[in-house]
Amino acid sequence: MTVGGLLCEGGAALRAAGIEGARQEARLLLAHALQCPQEALLRDPRAPVPPEVAATFRALLARRTAREPLALLTGIAGFWTLELEVSGATLLPRPDSEALIRLAGTLAPDARRMLDLGTGTGCLLLAALAERPAAWGLGLDLRPEAAALARRNAARNGLAARAAFAAGDWDAPLAGRFDLVLSNPPYIPSADVPGLMPEVARHEPATALDGGPDGLDAYRRILPALHRLLAPGGVAVLEIGWDQEPALQALAAAHGLAPRGREGDFGGNPRAIALAPIGGGGGAS
């Protein structure tokens, strides 16, 4: 087989499976199988591909047409300015979550101590640290394997000296206060989880998706803890579902927290909300 022949084969299979950007994904999978940059595939489409590499490519193609996420096949995902290792143990980083980093950059550009609740791959904390060379951060995740993954990602991106990761729950009794608290908790209502796209429903951990009957269970744990976790002038930036802002603001007000800002995702939907204790929060209103 040749590079061009395998790309045609892969693109056709992915299109038949209803996957958008089929040709681009075929290039990514073949480049991964060949362990070469994508650009190398374009230089000589007639270049022969060893049979064992073609077999690897076709195995990857079969997994992708079964709707396994592309990032899990390559083991790598980009987020903000970072390249991250990913696994099925955590939620995959998503571009929409970069809304939290943009909002935190506006409201807490000088934060020195940061906390990431439900850190997963570590994407939020590491992206925030990359923007603040003098800052230090802690990421908590209930799953030890997620904390270990985030630790590897800190090393991968040259941030290990300024990031620590541990297994712990949302309201773990931490002996310290933070200028910035970040979190992308599970916020999908339980009844909606089975109807998510197959890449998500079948391959990402339900514990990182299922937010309880109304999607707000995790916030009910996080919001009361913010008074203890935030330093004077500190702010929390949380990811929310596209239609959850009114409900979350009402829940926040019941816990003595006021909104300090919001940021939309790339589709223009509300995606990040900033909160701080009433009368003592950080950021601009």
At 182-231, the pLDDT tens digits run 999 999 999 999 999 999 999 999 999 999 999 999 999 999 999 999 99
**Model confidence pLDDT, tens digit, residues 82-137:** 999 999 999 999 999 999 999 999 999 999 999 999 999 999 999 999 999 999 99
Q: Is 283 part of any domain? A: no
| 9: nearest Cα among 42, 54, 73, 51 | 54
Q: Which structural domain, as residue segments, surrounds residue 153?
A: 76-277
**Cα separation, 231 vs 226, whole angstroms:** 9
**Overall domain count for the chain:** 2
pTM of the predicted protein model:
0.92
One domain for residues 168 and 272: yes
Cβ atoms < 10 Å from Cβ of 202: 13
Which 8-state DSSP code applies to residue 57? H
For the chain, state the CA radius of gyration.
21
**Position 162: which residue type?**
R
**Model confidence pLDDT, tens digit, residues 18-63:** 999 999 999 999 999 999 998 889 888 899 999 999 999 999 999 9
What region does 75 belong to: left with phi over 0, alpha with psi -120 to 50, or beta? left
One domain for residues 270 and 242: yes
Most distant CA atoms of the chain, gap in Å: 68
- On average, the pLDDT of the chain sits at 94
One domain for residues 88 and 123: yes
